[in-house]
């Protein structure tokens, strides 16, 4: 299973448990840590945990055992590391505060000019 197929599996698993506002970011040109970041919101701490559990279960069944999980205790922001993809599931207020979509989405800019100093 390649990175794109893993992302499809993750998005489907999140959708199965009614995740809100699922976003897939291709970050392979920005970092060597992972190829994709998938960000989604849950409606409560329990929902966040259920979303992450479903993704971990489906990924493991497909041969992608999670490397690690962080934040399950609080349930406001849980990070699931599947190596080729990092899954961030958050409560809406946490997601709005950290705004990972903006942080990891650098727009192409044609107006940047290199200067000699």
- The pLDDT tens digits of the residues spanning 28-82 come to 777 677 788 899 999 999 999 999 999 999 999 999 999 999 998 888 999 999 9
Question: What is this structure's pTM?
Answer: 0.84
Measured in degrees and rounded to the nearest 5, phi and psi for residue 17 equal: -105, 20
The residues with which 24 forms a beta bridge, in sequence order, are 38
Just give the CATH number of 3-103.
3.30.460.10
**What is the domain partition of the chain in residue ranges?**
3-103
Measured in degrees and rounded to the nearest 5, phi and psi for residue 83 equal: 65, -65
CB 85 within 8 Å of CB 37: yes
CB 64 within 8 Å of CB 14: no
CB 86 within 8 Å of CB 27: no
End-to-end CA distance of the chain: give it in Å, rounded.
47
Question: What's the mean per-residue pLDDT of the chain?
Answer: 87
8 SS3 class:
helix
């Amino acid at each position: 299973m390649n990175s794109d197929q893993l992302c499809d599996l993750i998005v489907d698993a999140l959708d199965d448990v009614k995740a809100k506002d699922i976003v897939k970011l291709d970050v392979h040109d920005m970092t060597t840590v992972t190829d994709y970041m998938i960000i989604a919101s849950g409606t409560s701490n329990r929902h966040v945990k259920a979303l992450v559990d479903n993704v971990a279960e489906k990924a493991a069944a497909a041969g992608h055992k999670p490397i690690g999980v962080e934040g399950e205790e609080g349930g406001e922001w849980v990070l699931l590391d599947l190596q080729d993809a990092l899954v961030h599931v958050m409560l809406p207020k946490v997601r709005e505060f950290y705004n990972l979509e903006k942080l990891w989405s650098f727009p192409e800019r044609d107006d940047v000019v290199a200067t000699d100093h």
